[in-house]
Amino acid sequence: MSLDVVATLADLVRIPSVNPMGRATSGDIYYEHRVTDYLEQLFRTLELPYERVLVSEQRPNIIARVDGDLPPEQGGKVLMFEAHQDTVPIEGMTIDPFDPKIESGKLFGRGSCDIKGGMSAMLGVVARLHREKPRGRPTVVMACTVNEEHGFTGATHWARAYAGFEGNPPTSRMLQRVPDATIVAEPTSLDVVVAHKGGVRWRCHTVGRATHSSQPHLGENAIYAMARLLPSFEKYALEVAPTLGSHHLCGKPTLSVGTIKGGISVNTVPDRCTIEIDRRLLPGESPETARQHVIDYLAAQVPNVRPVHDEPFLTSFGLADDCNGTLASELAAASKLHGGRGGKIGVPYGTDAPRFAQTGCPTVVFGPGSIDQAHTCDEWIEISQLQAASEILYDFAANFGR
What is the structure's pLDDT at 402? 76
Domain limits, the chain:
5-196+318-399, 198-316
Contact between 369 and 187 (Cβ < 8 Å): yes
Integer Cα distance of 88 and 114 in angstroms: 9
Beta bridge partners of 268: 212
What pLDDT, on the 0 to 100 scale, is given for residue 55?
98
pLDDT digit string (tens) for 58-94? 999 999 999 999 989 899 999 999 999 999 999 999 9
Give the model confidence (pLDDT) of 233-275 as tens digits. 999 999 999 999 999 999 999 999 999 999 999 999 999 999 9
Q: Quickly list DSSP for 315-383.
A: EEPPBPSSS-HHHHHHHHHHHHHTT----EEEESS--SHHHHHTTT--EEEE-SS-GGGTT-TT-EEEH
In terms of CATH, what superfamily is 5-196+318-399? Zn peptidases (3.40.630.10)
Task: Please give the Cα distance from 20 to 360 (Å, whole number).
Answer: 31
Q: Does domain 198-316 match CATH 3.30.565.10? A: no
Please tell me the distance from the alpha carbon of residue 394 to that of residue 182, in angstroms, as a whole number.
Answer: 14
Q: Are strands 363-366 and 181-185 parallel, antiparallel or unpaired?
A: parallel
**Phi-psi category of 375—alpha, beta or left, where left has phi over 0 and alpha has psi -120 to 50?**
left
pLDDT (0 to 100) of residue 177: 96
Q: Residue 166: its pLDDT value, please?
A: 83
For the full predicted model, state whether its pTM sits above 0.85: yes
Phi-psi region of 380 (alpha: psi -120 to 50; beta: other; left: phi over 0): beta
Beta strand 198-207 with 272-281: parallel, antiparallel or unpaired?
antiparallel
Whole-angstrom distance, CA of residue 390 vs CA of residue 394: 6
- Per DSSP (E only), the strands in 233-323 are 254-262, 268-269, 272-281, 308-309, 314-316
Residue 52 is predicted with a pLDDT of 98
Task: Name the DSSP letter for residue 238.
Answer: I
CB crowding 78-102: b at 16 or more within 10 Å, else e: bbbbbbbbbbbbbeebebebbebee
**What are the pLDDT tens digits along the chain (402 aa)?**
789 999 999 999 999 999 999 888 889 999 999 999 999 999 999 999 999 999 999 999 999 999 999 989 899 999 999 999 999 999 999 999 999 999 999 999 999 999 999 999 999 999 999 999 999 999 999 999 999 999 999 999 999 999 998 889 999 999 999 999 999 999 999 999 999 999 999 999 999 999 999 999 999 999 999 999 999 999 999 999 999 999 999 999 999 999 999 999 999 999 999 999 999 999 999 999 999 999 999 999 999 999 999 999 999 999 999 999 999 999 999 999 999 999 999 999 999 999 999 999 999 999 999 999 999 999 999 999 999 999 999 999 999 977
